[in-house]
């Protein structure tokens, strides 16, 4: 095998194609009249917005629970934290930290229940996770209508009850992180605070994975019987990983919102797991192995494509095919990963 | 017959938990919805004629141990493409339906073959793969229909094409074939219309499934469904048989989609197929089927119960709490919830069964 | 096709797995209607030999085999078991390959069903033919009759007793039209005595009809009783090939275990102990295929205690049950303190360690490096290999310490590897076993269970493993309980040896007793089941 083949083998065709695709987009961009600085800026912002949601995949992949298609559950915890923080009247950047604080107990409780469920369905986690995510989003649709929120910026204006579908976080935690130490060069804005926060959480997870519990987690994912024989409580370790993933999902959505500017309720979180799953896979993870590097590379590549395709495509062929490309790239990547799992280590 | 003891009653309740739960929800909901019996009966008949075929298309892969075929959406896409062409060529009535079905067959076979190939690479996780595959192919479908049609694939009928000159509009009026099959043999009992011809087609597919189970191929699928390795070592070509199972399901789903849309009368080019997989699977599960067991009776019971719930929940929600919206969210929640429960129960039982083998000796020791 | 040629002949069949020779120059032949008994310890090469005969893909994947196989004088080389079946060679597996939800009939005729024509076959081919249930029933009944048992052909396999499953499997092979040669791999292991009797009878009947049989069994009594010729394999070579009526159990057993004289000289000094350390009372363990029914043992401090017995009798269940890996009951005490069962953590906390017989699935993290494998249990159980960070706020993995300990054991146990970061799955079986031992040594246990330590590893590695255990016992005073199918291995290292038969102890003898005494215990010749109660 020559070195080139080796590289292809190791990276995998889809990943290589996606990487080359993105590279070509950046090369074409100036000729198509797209400003690189704006594109790069957008890519960075979206990297920051999605970085933690992608990170939320890592603990569960490590512990052998597979891809966290149940991410919406964590997002719901984040939504509860965000809305409660606004309801309680917190404003400004402070409301962001209160949101995180309030989201945490929900994330822990949801994650614990979700983990307990996944422990009872070992081997069928991913499909069930998907539907747990879906069901919980649908259930919360009912709850958003019924819960007694009364902050006027959040509820339906015209005499209706229940929360709006999109709530602006302006005056609350809009750009709570993004504006922190932000660097402006012309129209290029580097969202220092957000990027630092994303890197910080990535670092913390990296550190966690090197503790005794984190090591046990990796072992449980690698070979549960081995871990059991070494005195590790498999179910407990898996539950911890699910709680951690769920909590990261909650934080992730809050970071997303502070940059995006809106809280999206109801069916908003429905499909949010898929881009995150696709991103970490593009970054080089598989169904049972993932690293922090995979998170960073994946989030950057995937978000890069999402920002670059519409602008470049639009100016080239006057058609916005980005949605279709997004669907094909992200789901194609997931299928690729699912069909490459070796069943058993034999 | 001996009297049913407590254990068997519990077993019955346990194995039919989902249909029973639905019966309870419906019996609470019906009075609150305020609908008349006539209306509800009519609705059930419409829904049965509209959806049964689609639900029945799920049975073959279950038999072959491939679980719920979330990839049936691929067949629905093939059916829709058939309908787009038929509408474009302005072919009317039964001929239109027939031609659409014929057009869908090669497409369904191609898609089914591809789907089967991919699922063979993801043994043991067929469902989640099929589920993502449906999303993936939705992207390809959009690429073809939204960008390819009218530009590469000629579409002569301008009313179907978007104003920009290519791509099919969001809705296609299927007036040419609208309910032609349903009203072919008109029958009215009291106030209730019965689409006899459609039911005859459905009966035909039921007969096909019953017969198919008795064929050598059907027997091979059952064998593979139980244990792929044993079937393989007996010389059954496992991969090929699994692909055939998926192809049959995809072709049937294509036909089912055409029947479904001839009843509805309009095609939502980019949405009709998306929900069909989820609703069909939910309906089958509500009827008491599970990931590894599905009967024809489950399909009919399921369509009846599930769609009854669908019909009544907005009104029941409005009358109960004062919000129709709530009922709508409720039914979405129930659709997803019921699939979740079925998946959880299946996975849980499978795990339990593994453990149960282990408890046999423990029990024997306890009794000593 | 010459009528004088034997039915099947193997000439100089040789096979190695990545340089590890498992079969060397195996030549033998079998005539029509002959029953050949094939015996050998676990790992002697019986299974590999049969895999070669049937053209299992694993053989091709690992580089094929040397020598040739002739069927009725014609050289054959099968690419898959199906080709062998076409030539009339059938196999009844040790593990059942039956479909639980199918009836006996459906299983017997699996993929050979009787079918009827209908018009759809013109369109879609023969698989559209419908099943002819009546014809299938008659055929199944005929096959069952051929086996000579009573079996309801309509019972689903899942509801059958084990014996009936075995008969269904045999019936399936016999139903094939042209069956000439049948391989039965330990068919009596799961049968009751009377069922085994029936099976032997039907084997005799089949041989009268001209069907040759290769009968693989550990039950030497059965071999003597039924076979025409006995073939003993050891370490991949044929040690003995004699007409059965010219040999006896003892001679066969001798040939099987071999090394008698050599091992005798090698034995350790006679040691006596009188401090009961680990006490096991009325233990039962539900380990599939290795059920422990009722076992009581007293093991002394500092002793090396061997547990032997034939495969499937329950010897492996003992450590797996005590260590909490399989559901178990009864009482386990160490120095008077009761150890709760069914929880690996409790067992590990009581300073017991276990080197599992199942290296790949239990013993190793195949996808992780050697140093992780070695240090993992120590880290989880004893919080070692961690270093405090931020003034002891929390502790992180100490990669340096992990690498050091790995290097230490790589040297001490002569683990052949490129670096301590090499993944465990890339090592050979022997080196993997050493990694497993190192993992156990790291926690410095008080009691060490070692299960089948030399299974599937080459001779050189075997010696290192056994010597290491012995040394460890002498130096640290660790109580070692070694479970092995190879009697001579046990005798060379243990102080006392218990033999397990049918989930119970059939006897405990000092290792210095002659092999024959243990052999007889294994074969269930001594009725001492009452003793263990």
**Domain residue limits, chain B:** 21-345
Query: C206 to chain A nearest CA, in Å?
Result: 38
Question: What pLDDT was estimated at residue C532?
Answer: 36
Buried b (16+ CB within 10 A) or exposed e, C83-94: ebbebbbbbbeb
Residue whose C-alpha is closest to residue C226's, from C244, C247, C248 = C244
Touching C: which chains, 3+ CB pairs < 8 A?
A: A, B
The Cα–Cα gap between A151 and C497 comes to 78
- Asked if C146 and B230 touch (Cβ cutoff 8 Å), the reply is no
How, if at all, do strands C386-389 and C394-397 pair? antiparallel
Running DSSP on this structure, what letter comes out for residue C502? T
> Is the pLDDT assigned to residue C502 strictly greater than 80?
yes
**Does any domain span residue A5?**
no
The two domains C1-88+178-257 and C259-351+445-533 share their CATH topology (first three levels equal):
yes
Buried b (16+ CB within 10 A) or exposed e, C488-510: bbbbbbbbbbbbbbebbbbbbbe
Q: Which of B195-209, C233-247, C430-444 has the highest mean pLDDT?
A: B195-209
- Asked if C236 and C66 touch (Cβ cutoff 8 Å), the reply is no
Does B227 sit within 8 Å of C100, measured CB to CB? yes
Among B132, B143, B343, the residue with its CB nearest the CB of A331 is: B132
Question: What pLDDT was estimated at residue C263?
Answer: 44
Domain range for A21: 12-338
Alpha carbon C149 to chain centroid, angstroms: 28
Phi, psi for residue C26 in degrees, rounded to 5: -85, 120
Q: What is the ipTM of this complex?
A: 0.87
Query: C369 to chain A nearest CA, in Å?
Result: 11
Sign of torsion, CA A211 A212 A214 A219? positive
Question: What pLDDT was estimated at residue B357?
Answer: 55
Domain at C1-88+178-257, CATH class: alpha beta
> Is the pLDDT assigned to residue B214 strictly greater than 70?
yes
Q: Which of residues 26-85 of A touch C (CB under 8 A)?
A: none
Question: What pLDDT was estimated at residue B362?
Answer: 54
Beta-sheet strands, E only, within C74-163: 74-76, 89-92, 115-116, 130-131
Question: What pLDDT was estimated at residue B242?
Answer: 94
Computed over every residue of chain C, the mean pLDDT equals 84
- Report, as an integer, the average pLDDT of B318-335: 81
Q: What is the largest CA-CA distance in chain B?
A: 83
Which of A14, A69, A73, A124 to probe the B interface (max B CBs under 10 A)?
A: A124
Among C97, C120, C327, the residue with its CB nearest the CB of B358 is: C327
Question: What pLDDT was estimated at residue B317?
Answer: 80
Helices C399-412 and C429-442: angle between axes, nearest 10 degrees = 120
The Cα–Cα gap between C388 and B73 comes to 55
Q: Which residues of A touch C365 (CB under 8 A)?
A: 219, 222-223, 226
- Asked if C448 and C322 touch (Cβ cutoff 8 Å), the reply is no
- Give per-residue pLDDT as tens, B74-128: 999 999 999 999 999 999 889 999 999 999 999 999 999 999 999 999 888 888 8
For C47, other C-beta atoms within 10 Å of its C-beta total 16
> Is the pLDDT assigned to residue B59 strictly greater than 70?
yes
Q: Which residues of B touch A69 (CB under 8 A)?
A: 128
Question: What pLDDT was estimated at residue C530?
Answer: 37
DSSP per position, A5-63: HHHHHHH-HHHHHHHHHHHHHHHHHHHTT--HHHHHHHHHHHHHHHHHHHHTTHHHHHT
Question: What pLDDT was estimated at residue B364?
Answer: 54
At the topology level, CATH places domain C259-351+445-533 in Rossmann fold (3.40.50)
Question: What pLDDT was estimated at residue C266?
Answer: 52
Q: Who's near B131: CB < 8 A, 6+ residues apart?
A: A127, A130, B70, B71
Among A207, A219, A346, the residue with its CB nearest the CB of C376 is: A219
Least confident interval from B128-137, B317-326, C66-75, C297-306: B317-326
Straight-line distance from the first to the last Cα atom of chain A, in angstroms, rounded to the nearest whole number: 24
- Report, as an integer, the average pLDDT of C187-204: 81
**Domain segments of chain C: what residues?**
1-88+178-257, 259-351+445-533, 361-443
State whether residue B36 is helix, strand or coil. coil
Sign of torsion, CA A255 A260 A263 A266? negative
Q: Which of residues 194-213 of B touch C (CB under 8 A)?
A: 211
Question: What pLDDT was estimated at residue B221?
Answer: 94
Question: What pLDDT was estimated at residue A159?
Answer: 60
- Report, as an integer, the average pLDDT of B218-226: 92
Q: Which two tokens stand for residue C112?
A: 């050979």
The Cα–Cα gap between B240 and B236 comes to 9
- Asked if A291 and A285 touch (Cβ cutoff 8 Å), the reply is yes
- Give per-residue pLDDT as tens, C96-155: 788 888 999 999 888 888 888 888 887 788 888 888 888 999 999 988 888 877 888 888
Could you give the angle at the alpha carbon of C57 between the alpha carbons of C51 and C62, nearest 5°? 90
CATH code of the domain in which A91 resides? 1.10.3470
Straight-line distance from the first to the last Cα atom of chain B, in angstroms, rounded to the nearest whole number: 32
> Is the pLDDT assigned to residue C160 strictly greater than 90?
no
Residue whose C-alpha is closest to residue C376's, from C442, C432, C325, C427 = C442
Helix/strand/coil (H, E, C) string of A120-131? HCCCCHHHHHHH
For B210, other C-beta atoms within 10 Å of its C-beta total 11
- Asked if B287 and B78 touch (Cβ cutoff 8 Å), the reply is no
Note whether A145 contacts B: Cβ–Cβ < 8 A.
yes
Question: What pLDDT was estimated at residue A346?
Answer: 27
Q: What is the largest CA-CA distance in chain A?
A: 70
Question: What pLDDT was estimated at residue B243?
Answer: 95
> Is the pLDDT assigned to residue B355 strictly greater than 70?
no
The tally of domains found in chain A comes to: 1
Does A223 sit within 8 Å of C365, measured CB to CB? yes
Phi/psi zone of residue A67: left (φ > 0), alpha (ψ -120 to 50 degrees), beta? Answer: beta
Touching A: which chains, 3+ CB pairs < 8 A?
A: B, C
**Does any domain span residue A343?**
no
Domain B21-345 maps to which CATH number in 1.10.20, 1.10.3470, 1.25.10, 3.30.450?
1.10.3470
Question: What pLDDT was estimated at residue B119?
Answer: 93
Q: Which residues of B touch A319 (CB under 8 A)?
A: 147
> Is the pLDDT assigned to residue C217 strictly greater than 90?
no
Question: What pLDDT was estimated at residue B359?
Answer: 54
In sequence order, the β-bridge partners of residue C354 are C449
In sequence order, the β-bridge partners of residue C75 are C70
Length reported for chain C: 533
| Residue C393 or C490, more confident | C490
Phi, psi for residue B35 in degrees, rounded to 5: -80, 150
How, if at all, do strands C89-92 and C35-39 pair? unpaired
Name the residue of chain C whose CA is nearest to B215's CA: C130
> Is the pLDDT assigned to residue B368 strictly greater than 60?
no
Which of B109, B221, B235 to probe the C interface (max C CBs under 10 A)?
A: B235
Q: Which two tokens stand for residue A226?
A: 């081995």
Computed over every residue of chain B, the mean pLDDT equals 87
**Does any domain span residue A289?**
yes
- Binned average pLDDT, 10 residues per bin, chain A of 346 residues: 72 79 83 79 90 94 91 94 90 89 95 93 87 92 87 75 84 81 80 91 92 92 90 92 95 92 89 90 86 90 85 76 84 86 44
Q: Please, which pLDDT band fits residue B365 given cuts at 50, 70 and 90? A: low
Query: B207 to chain C nearest CA, in Å?
Result: 14
- Give per-residue pLDDT as tens, C398-447: 888 999 999 999 988 888 888 888 888 888 778 888 899 899 999 889 99
The Cα–Cα gap between C57 and A346 comes to 14
- Give per-residue pLDDT as tens, C39-88: 887 667 888 888 888 888 888 888 888 888 888 888 888 888 888 888 88
Question: What pLDDT was estimated at residue C259?
Answer: 53
Alpha helices in chain A (DSSP H): 3-11, 13-31, 36-55, 58-62, 71-87, 92-120, 125-146, 192-208, 212-222, 224-229, 234-260, 273-282, 292-317, 322-338
- Report, as an integer, the average pLDDT of C16-29: 82
Phi, psi for residue B167 in degrees, rounded to 5: 90, 140
Query: B361 to chain C nearest CA, in Å?
Result: 6
């Amino acid at each position: 095998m020559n070195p080139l083949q080796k590289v292809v083998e190791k990276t995998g065709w889809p990943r290589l194609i996606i990487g080359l695709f993105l590279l070509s987009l950046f090369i074409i961009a100036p000729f198509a009249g797209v400003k690189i600085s704006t594109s790069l800026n957008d890519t960075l912002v979206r990297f920051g917005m999605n970085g933690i949601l992608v990170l939320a995949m890592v603990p569960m992949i490590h512990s052998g629970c597979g891809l966290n298609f149940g991410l919406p559950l964590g997002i719901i915890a984040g939504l509860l934290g965000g809305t409660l923080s606004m309801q309680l009247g917190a404003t400004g950047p402070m409301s962001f930290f209160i949101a995180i604080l309030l989201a945490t107990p929900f994330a822990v409780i949801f994650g614990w229940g979700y983990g307990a469920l996944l422990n009872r369905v070992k081997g069928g986690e991913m499909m069930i996770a998907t539907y747990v995510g879906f069901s919980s989003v649908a259930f919360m649709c009912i709850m958003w209508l019924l819960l007694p929120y009364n902050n006027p910026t959040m509820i339906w204006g015209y005499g209706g009850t229940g929360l709006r579908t999109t709530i602006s976080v302006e005056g609350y935690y809009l750009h709570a992180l993004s504006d922190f130490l932000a660097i402006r060069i012309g129209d290029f804005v580097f969202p220092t605070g957000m990027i630092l926060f994303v890197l910080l959480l990535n670092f913390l997870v990296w550190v966690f994975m090197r503790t005794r519990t984190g090591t046990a987690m990796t072992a449980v994912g690698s070979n549960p019987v081995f871990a059991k024989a070494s005195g590790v409580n498999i179910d407990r370790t898996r539950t911890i990983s699910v709680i951690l993933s769920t909590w990261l999902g909650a934080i992730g959505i809050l970071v997303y919102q502070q940059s995006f500017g809106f809280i999206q309720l109801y069916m908003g979180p429905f499909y949010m797991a898929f881009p995150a799953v696709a991103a970490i896979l593009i970054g080089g993870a598989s169904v049972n192995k993932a690293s922090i590097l995979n998170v960073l590379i994946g989030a950057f590549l995937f978000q890069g494509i999402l920002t670059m395709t519409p602008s470049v495509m639009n100016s080239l062929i006057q058609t916005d095919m980005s949605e279709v490309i997004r669907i094909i790239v992200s789901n194609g990547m997931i299928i690729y990963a699912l069909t490459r799992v070796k069943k058993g280590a034999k | 017959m001996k009297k049913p003891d407590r254990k068997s009653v519990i077993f019955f309740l346990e194995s039919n938990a989902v249909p029973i739960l639905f019966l309870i929800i419906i019996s609470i909901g019906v009075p609150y919805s305020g609908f008349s019996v006539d209306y509800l009966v009519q609705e059930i008949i419409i829904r049965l004629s509209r959806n049964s075929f689609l639900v029945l298309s799920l049975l073959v892969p279950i038999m072959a141990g491939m679980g719920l075929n979330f990839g049936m959406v691929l067949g629905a896409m093939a059916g829709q493409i058939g309908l787009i062409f038929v509408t474009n060529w302005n072919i009317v009535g039964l001929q239109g339906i027939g031609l659409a079905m014929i057009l869908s067959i090669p497409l369904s076979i191609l898609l089914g073959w591809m789907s089967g190939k991919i699922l063979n690479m993801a043994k043991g996780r067929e469902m989640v793969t099929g589920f993502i595959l449906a999303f993936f192919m939705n992207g390809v479908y959009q690429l073809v229909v939204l960008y390819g049609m009218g530009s590469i694939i000629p579409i002569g009928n301008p009313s179907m094409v978007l104003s920009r000159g290519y791509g099919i509009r969001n809705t296609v009026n299927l007036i040419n074939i609208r309910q032609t099959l349903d009203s072919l043999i008109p029958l009215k009992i009291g106030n209730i219309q019965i689409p006899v011809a459609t039911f005859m087609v459905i009966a035909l597919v039921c007969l096909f499934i019953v017969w198919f189970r008795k064929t050598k191929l059907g027997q091979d699928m059952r064998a593979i469904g139980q244990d792929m390795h044993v079937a393989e070592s007996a010389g059954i070509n496992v991969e090929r048989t699994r692909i055939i199972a998926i192809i049959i399901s995809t072709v049937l789903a294509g036909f089912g989609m055409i029947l479904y849309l001839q009843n509805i009368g309009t095609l939502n080019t980019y949405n009709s197929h998306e929900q069909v997989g989820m609703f069909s699977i939910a309906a089958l599960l509500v009827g008491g089927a599970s990931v590894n067991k599905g009967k024809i009776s489950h399909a009919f019971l399921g369509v009846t119960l599930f769609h009854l719930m669908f019909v009544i929940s907005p009104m029941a929600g409005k009358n109960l709490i004062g919000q129709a919206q709530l009922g709508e969210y409720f039914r979405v929640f129930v659709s997803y919830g019921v699939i979740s429960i079925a998946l959880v129960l299946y996975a849980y039982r499978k795990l339990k069964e593994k453990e149960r083998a282990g408890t046999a000796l423990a029990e024997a020791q306890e009794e000593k | 096709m010459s009528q004088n040629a034997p039915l099947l002949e193997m000439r100089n069949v040789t096979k190695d797995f990545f340089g590890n020779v498992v079969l060397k120059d195996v030549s033998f032949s079998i005539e029509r209607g002959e029953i050949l008994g094939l015996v050998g310890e676990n790992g002697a090469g019986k299974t590999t030999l049969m895999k070669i005969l049937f053209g299992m893909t694993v053989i091709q994947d690992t580089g094929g085999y040397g020598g040739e196989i002739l069927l009725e004088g014609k050289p054959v080389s099968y690419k898959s078991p199906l080709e062998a079946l076409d030539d009339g060679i059938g196999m009844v597996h040790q593990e059942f390959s039956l479909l639980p939800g199918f009836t006996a009939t459906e299983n017997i005729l699996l993929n050979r069903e009787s079918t009827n024509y209908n018009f759809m076959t013109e369109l879609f081919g023969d698989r559209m033919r419908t099943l002819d249930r009546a014809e299938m029933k008659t055929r199944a009944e005929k096959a069952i009759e051929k086996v000579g048992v009573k079996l309801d052909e309509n019972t689903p396999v899942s509801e059958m007793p084990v014996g009936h499953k075995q008969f269904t499997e045999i019936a399936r092979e016999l139903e094939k039209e042209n069956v000439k040669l049948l391989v039965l791999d330990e068919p009596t292991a799961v049968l009751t005595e009377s069922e085994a009797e029936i099976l032997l009878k039907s084997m005799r009947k089949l041989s009268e009809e001209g069907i040759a049989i290769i009968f693989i069994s550990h039950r030497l009594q059965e071999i003597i009783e039924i076979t025409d010729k006995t073939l003993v394999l050891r370490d991949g070579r044929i040690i003995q090939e004699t007409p059965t009526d010219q040999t006896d159990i003892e001679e066969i057993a001798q040939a099987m275990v071999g090394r008698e004289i050599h091992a005798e000289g090698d034995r350790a000094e006679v040691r006596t102990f009188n401090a009961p350390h680990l006490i096991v009372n009325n233990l039962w363990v539900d380990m599939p295929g290795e059920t422990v029914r009722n076992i009581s043992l007293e093991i002394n401090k500092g002793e090396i205690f061997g547990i032997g017995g034939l495969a499937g009798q329950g010897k492996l269940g003992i450590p797996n049950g005590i260590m909490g890996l399989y559901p178990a009951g009864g009482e386990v005490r160490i120095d008077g303190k009761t150890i709760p069962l069914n929880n690996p953590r409790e067992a590990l906390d009581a300073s017991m360690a276990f080197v599992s017989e199942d290296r790949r699935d239990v013993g190793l993290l195949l996808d992780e490096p050697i140093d992780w494998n070695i240090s993992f249990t120590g880290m989880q159980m004893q919080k070692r290999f961690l270093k405090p960070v931020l003034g002891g706020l929390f502790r992180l993995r100490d990669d340096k310490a992990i690498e050091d300990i790995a290097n230490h054991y790589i040297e001490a146990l002569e683990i052949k590897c490129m670096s301590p970061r090499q993944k465990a799955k890339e090592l050979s079986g022997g080196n993997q076993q050493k990694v497993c031992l190192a993992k156990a040594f790291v926690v410095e246990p008080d009691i060490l269970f070692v299960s089948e330590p030399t299974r599937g590893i080459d001779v050189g590695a075997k010696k290192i493993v056994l010597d290491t255990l012995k040394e460890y016992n002498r130096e640290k005073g660790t109580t070692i309980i070694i479970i092995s199918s190879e009697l001579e291995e046990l005798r060379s290292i243990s102080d006392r040896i218990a033999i397990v038969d049918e989930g119970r102890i059939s006897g405990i003898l000092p290792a210095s007793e002659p092999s024959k005494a243990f052999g007889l215990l294994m074969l269930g010749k001594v009725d001492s089941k009452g003793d263990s109660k």
